[in-house]
Amino acid sequence: MAIHVKRAFKYRFHPTDAQAAELSRTFGCVRKVYNLALAARTEAWTRQERVNYNQTSAMLTVWKKTEELAYLNEVSSVPLQQALRHLQVAFTNFFGRRAKYPRFKSRKKSRKSAEYTTSAFRFRDGRLTLAKMREPLDIVWSRPLPAGVSPSTVTVSQDAAGRWFVSMLCDDPSVQPLPATDTAVGIDVGLDHLLTLSTGEKITNPRHERRDRVALAKAQRRLAKKARGDGANRAKARRKVAKVHARIADRRRDTPHKLTTRLVRENQTLVIEDLSVRNMVKNRSLARAVSDAAWTDFRSLLEYKAAWYGREVIAVDRWFPSSKLCSACGTLQERMPLNVRTWTCDCRTTHDRDVNAAKNLLAAGLAVTAWGAGVRPQRSTPGGQSATKQETPRREP
């Protein structure tokens, strides 16, 4: 069965000085328009009035005609309109109780980005030229776009480390369901080992943050000694800290991508545990290690890749006693402290704690497939509420 997948392809690029200046102006204008529209909608809300995207778009036309905001005419109008659309989506999610109230964008802390639609860029023969620019971007093509497709949306961004990226949203016809297999695997996540599979395989936790902890601490100490303000030395020190964080984030993102791709290709059914990572990071002793393991990212990647390639992901209830249950005879142990890594059941079977948990997760997941057993709860919404709970959405003024 053919599926329609829109996929973003992200690349680094190296702008010329003129392109960097133009994009920086665009980022500033996008931030200004977003904040002005948010302020207008917030003020209208206090008066019990309703302001939507069409009204903010009309406001933008008026703002451009004022002497104070005439500089908005110097950049492409498309990223400004897209900023208003993003604000509309933010309010829609807020009133639908899927997100918090939209916040103003900060010059120093907010992500620098601008989105261009097809009317604001030209893509020909592998060369991308944005509106208001004469030369195409110098893109580092780390992988090719799917043959015969063109991007429908282009997003340009700059991270805190000063690196420039372009993300192209395209239809990817190469994403097709894989041939069905009869293989299934249980996956237990951990800290000593990032993943333990029901097959007995253990995947070591690379601990990316720990590898760069000394370099990060050194860069942060140097930043702390710089005088606060907009000085060049402080900006340089802040950029060095950002580069260390970027290196950690890149590695942390690469590992789960490779693991999930491999697991989805090899298995038809993948069973995981429905962990509450949000609550686990509240434990100060475990927060750093849990965040570094990136369990939430792993699950997200696993689920969307499984949907792409015709696989099934089953999440077993977090209260299922996978560690205390004997996978051989089904005997439930009363206690199983975390320091116990191997144990012997009354049936004389010796278990590795993590492998046994993965086997039990697999058995519980297969029970869901066969009998519809109640071991897979509904996922939570971004606001933290159960997805099964009926809620009354916020009423727009």
Max CA distance (Å), the chain: 84
Q: What angle do CA 13, 239, 90 make, to 5 degrees?
A: 70
Last residue of a domain, one of 171, 197, 231: 171
Minimal CA–CA distance to 110: which of 102, 121, 101, 118? 102
| Same domain (yes/no): 148, 22 | yes
- 3-class DSSP state of 93: helix
| Same domain (yes/no): 155, 133 | yes
The predicted pLDDT at position 336 comes to 82
Residue 273 placed within a domain: yes
The predicted pLDDT at position 2 comes to 54
| Same domain (yes/no): 26, 157 | yes
Q: In this predicted model, what pLDDT tens digit does every residue of 156-178 receive, in sequence order? A: 999 999 999 999 999 988 888 99
Q: What angle do CA 341, 298, 91 make, to 5 degrees?
A: 135
Residue 20 placed within a domain: yes
Ordered mean pLDDT values, 10 residues apiece, the chain (397 residues): 79 96 96 97 90 95 95 96 97 94 92 95 94 95 90 96 95 89 92 90 91 94 88 91 94 93 94 86 84 89 92 89 86 82 84 89 83 46 38 46
Cα radius of gyration rounded to whole Å, the chain: 25
The predicted pLDDT at position 371 comes to 61
| Same domain (yes/no): 132, 274 | no
Residue 397 placed within a domain: no
Residue 225 placed within a domain: no
| Same domain (yes/no): 58, 137 | yes
Q: Cβ distance 27 to 113 under 8 Å?
A: yes
Residue 345 placed within a domain: yes
| Same domain (yes/no): 84, 189 | no
Residue 41 placed within a domain: yes
Q: Cβ distance 123 to 141 under 8 Å?
A: no
Residue 69 carries which side chain, given as an amino acid letter? L
The predicted pLDDT at position 281 comes to 83
Q: In this predicted model, what pLDDT tens digit does every residue of 285-313 receive, in sequence order? A: 888 888 888 888 999 999 999 999 999 99
**Local structure of residue 209 (DSSP, 8 states):** H
| Same domain (yes/no): 93, 191 | no
Last residue of a domain, one of 171, 195, 220: 171
Residue 102 placed within a domain: yes
**Local structure of residue 318 (DSSP, 8 states):** T
| Same domain (yes/no): 124, 194 | no
Q: Which residues contact 397 (CB under 8 A, 6 or more apart)?
A: 44, 45, 48, 49, 50
CA-to-CA dists, residue 372 to 106, 310, 311, 322, angstroms: 48, 20, 17, 18
| Entry pTM | 0.83
CA 196 – CA 151 distance, rounded (Å): 39
| Same domain (yes/no): 13, 152 | yes
The predicted pLDDT at position 379 comes to 41
The predicted pLDDT at position 384 comes to 39
DSSP string of 146-160, one letter each residue: PTT---SEEEEEE-T
Residues assigned a catalytic role? 188, 273, 354
Residue 286 placed within a domain: yes
On the 0-12 / 13-18 / 19+ scale of CB atoms within 10 A, 259 is middle
Count the Cβ atoms, other than its own, within 10 Å of residue 220: 16
| Same domain (yes/no): 196, 340 | yes
Q: Which domain holds residue 97?
A: 6-171
| Same domain (yes/no): 362, 272 | yes
The number of folded domains in the chain is: 2
CATH of the domain at 321: 3.30.420
On the 0-12 / 13-18 / 19+ scale of CB atoms within 10 A, 59 is middle
| Same domain (yes/no): 161, 290 | no
The predicted pLDDT at position 108 comes to 86
